[in-house]
Structure 1
């Protein structure tokens, strides 16, 4: 068995920049950062962008990681916000590949090594990703939820490997919000844009897959997705700034070649019921009804109980509006 000094994983020339944005989670970022530093592929740098309003995360990093040269920490003053924080990390990256992981999530021990394996096997690959475990708030894996998540987002064994339509991967949300890897120059060219709000993950994922020559799906678990109630997406999901509503408007306006129109319809099928509910709950019942009736396929053409639940919400919203006008 080769020694650590001659192991090809240990001496691999490819440098990976792991970007780790954080905000007010000193109790969680330690596990995320530890998972990055424990990777079997050791030619890495870990870039942390701290948007926190206090110094708890800074104190943690200084106490536990100050001696590790791979950790490069920056406290954003003033805070940059989600998209600009991620974009600043991309700008600071010096590696050949970039990997994004959020502060409440963490990586499987050989995630970097396994995703990197796609490049020498397929010359056109510019983006790679794998499956995500779902965990509870304490980081305990939930097997049934993990299987459901990956199946729901089209990550199944029968489609493993190089994707025939790279753009479809982003459109239908097969590409995950984090735990992915991509060529650094491509990541920096696409970037995160502040105007996309909390949907910046989806917009970025769609645009990078549309731009990539090759996208590779590894049918292996590479990251852990922690379920918490403090995420931006969770706290805004019923409002007019909800990520799904922003993503829906982006998707509708997106210019696509004819061969990707089926992927757009599949993506809209997932989004429309959520957008219908958002409209109805935010005093726009007529817009909600119009959208539902124009996308009946999203409700199995009337055979989904979800449609009738949404009709009830619309009726309640309309009644409330009329009562307020009296």
Structure 2
């Protein structure tokens, strides 16, 4: 560990950076956090990799606002998310992507939201999407999010309950790494260990069922990095992640039916946007010779929404 002792006073905002991967992009992410205003925040980096130069870089950084931890063993994505939650002691937390960027106004926007909506569970600020080179981009996924699923209100707003649950289950328009969360709402729930891809939406559903609300602040203050899906990766076309998604959506539909949230349950059961995503991968799977994967993807996309 490097940085200030964890026994010191808790910040208002814990910015958590679960790290694995590109060193240069991680450094850019850290510098973007260090550009934030105020003295009510702390950055905690939890390193789940083995890059030899990283611990020394944080030693040289020697910034009292930064804590650095390296896991003794690889915990994986969800495990490292939960390790970050364990280390958070502030009133609010952000689980930032290690290749994303905060704009200098990020905490100003978030402070405005939590001050305007005391006790709000989540804040979704305005986001700009960038590509692997850091240039602005507008992918099909982001265009669909913006045009079909995201709320059309031009100003700040407060959302929650079945209406928000149904909206997100039709198409998850949130940008998870940019969200600010109220710590005492999130920490008791955590991230489900049985989910490796859709754990962020699962957390949001748990919070909405518990009565939490989401504040929207449209001012852009965060850059979310969207990497192109690698066509050389067979894993992208096995359909395994869609099997996980189907299980989550059908479990969620049953749960919401039990609560009387019939519209949200219907949205979960049909999960159109996820099925459409699977369908868009079929041509590339066939082109690259992944015929079994193509059949799996097509079955997910075009098969019955309900359990057999």
TM value normalised by structure 1: 0.74
Whose RCO is larger (CA < 8 A, sep 6+)?
Answer: 2
CA shift in 2, pair 1:294/1:104, >3 Å:
same
Counterpart in the other structure of 1:62: 59
Does the 8 Å contact 1:15/1:95 carry over to 2? Answer: yes
> 1:54 offset after TM fit, Å?
2.6
Counterpart in the other structure of 2:261: 259
Separation (CA, whole Å) in 1 of partners of 2:82 and 2:166: 24
Separation (CA, whole Å) in 1 of partners of 2:210 and 2:72: 33
Separation (CA, whole Å) in 2 of partners of 1:156 and 1:191: 30
CA shift in 2, pair 1:252/1:62, >3 Å:
same
- Pick the structure with greater CA Rg: 1
For structure 2, which runs of at least 5 residues remain unmatched after alignment? 1-9
Counterpart in the other structure of 1:110: 105
Counterpart in the other structure of 2:90: 95
Verify: 1:178 aligned to 2:181, yes or no.
no
Counterpart in the other structure of 2:243: 245
Verify: 1:120 aligned to 2:115, yes or no.
yes
Q: Secondary structure at the match of 1:194?
A: coil
Q: Secondary structure at the match of 2:97?
A: coil
Separation (CA, whole Å) in 2 of partners of 1:29 and 1:283: 33
Verify: 1:188 aligned to 2:187, yes or no.
yes
Q: More helix per residue: 1 or 2?
A: 1
> 1:151 offset after TM fit, Å?
3.3
Does the 8 Å contact 2:23/2:54 carry over to 1? Answer: yes
Verify: 1:73 aligned to 2:68, yes or no.
yes
2:20 to 18, 23, 44: 23
Does the 8 Å contact 2:46/2:84 carry over to 1? Answer: yes
TM value normalised by structure 2: 0.78
CA deviation digits over 1:158-211, x for unaligned, max 9?
584001534346434133221101111111012112210122223223323333
For structure 1, which runs of at least 5 residues remain unmatched after alignment? 1-12, 296-326
Q: After TM superposition, list the pairs within 5 Å mapping 1:140-151 onto structure 2.
A: 140-142=135-137, 148=143, 149-151=145-147
Counterpart in the other structure of 1:272: 275
> 1:99 offset after TM fit, Å?
0.8
After superposing on structure 2, the runs of 4+ consecutive aligned residues of structure 1 that deviate more than 4 Å are 143-147, 275-281, 283-291
Backbone CA RMSD of aligned residues: 3.2
Q: Secondary structure at the match of 2:176?
A: coil
